[in-house]
Structure 1
């Protein structure tokens, strides 16, 4: 099933503090997440923002937190976002069946969130160039585990253009500027 902006929600997982800076290719990761967040906003898609134990791991990377405003993060202690009642409530309130996942770490929090979403009948697309782990090997293992359970893999540009569907309109012009 193709992604549809009316059915999709973007979920940003735990891109926080020092941990975000020690991810494999962290600068590229943060750049891609920024494009994805701005693209979702251009397309008027809801964004749910998660933080793992923010009192211990710190806040979301400042450049991304600024892009995510006026949304506020949902704090969690479970590795899976789905383990947090506030996340489940927000997801239900949005009424979307397609979840686009990005963030860190691919093999832990992103994976467990994807697994729980899939088990609860959500369609999950993992944005492979907007997730990371401390090692590239763990990222690849995490991506493989998610696809084995039924998640779809994509990349920032493919997701945004799939959601846009047509090469026309203000949102399309905005996406072209973001990607270049």
Structure 2
């Protein structure tokens, strides 16, 4: 199970014009914002990557505006695990549970999740916070990852699993983020 002491959020490549043409873009952007706010509320490490930002553009403002206290890690590999700065950030987080969000589900999300899983991490893909341009590619990626043993979750499921109890100030703040 996910826990706040050992879980990190990894945000994959939610950038530029590519992000604008994702399947169910508005729902994706909304769930991504909820995940980031929830992770921040619970003080989870957030590792944020961008695929060749000089060509694909920077992360969408809806996320950049929430992540003002950190900078993205630029990468040119489809899997973030192929980037030494990402590996260093992951190691520094000391987390073995990794929640993965972003785009595209069948390319960078898939390859990153698979590499994390093969490296021994407990990986959960947040299904309503990942997408691809075509819904069939998203579904294929989710199916293939699940068959490989990667767990699937949703924004609310993950955040309430991390929250554990329905009381206190953090719970009230979480409810206001989700609504």
Same fold at TM > 0.5: yes
Matches within 5 A, 1:1-180: 2-180=1-179
5+ long unaligned stretches in structure 1: none
**How many residue pairs are counted as aligned between the two chains?**
179
Question: How many angstroms does 1:11 deviate by?
Answer: 0.3
Measure the CA separation in 1 of the matches of 2:70 and 2:158. Answer: 21
Measure the CA separation in 1 of the matches of 2:171 and 2:70. Answer: 23
5+ long unaligned stretches in structure 2: none
Question: How many angstroms does 1:26 deviate by?
Answer: 0.6
Measure the CA separation in 2 of the matches of 1:68 and 1:168. Answer: 27
**Residue deviations 1:128-174, cap 9 Å, x none?**
00000000100000101111111100000000000010011221111
CA RMSD, aligned part only?
0.6
**Residue deviations 1:14-73, cap 9 Å, x none?**
000100000001111001000010000011111000000000000000111111221110
Measure the CA separation in 2 of the matches of 1:43 and 1:3. Answer: 12
Measure the CA separation in 2 of the matches of 1:150 and 1:129. Answer: 19
Instruction: Give TM-score scaled by structure 2 length.
Output: 0.99
Measure the CA separation in 2 of the matches of 1:51 and 1:170. Answer: 33
Q: Quick check: 1:3–1:98 contact (8 Å CA) kept in 2?
A: yes
Measure the CA separation in 2 of the matches of 1:171 and 1:160. Answer: 11
Instruction: Give TM-score scaled by structure 1 length.
Output: 0.98
Measure the CA separation in 1 of the matches of 2:158 and 2:96. Answer: 16
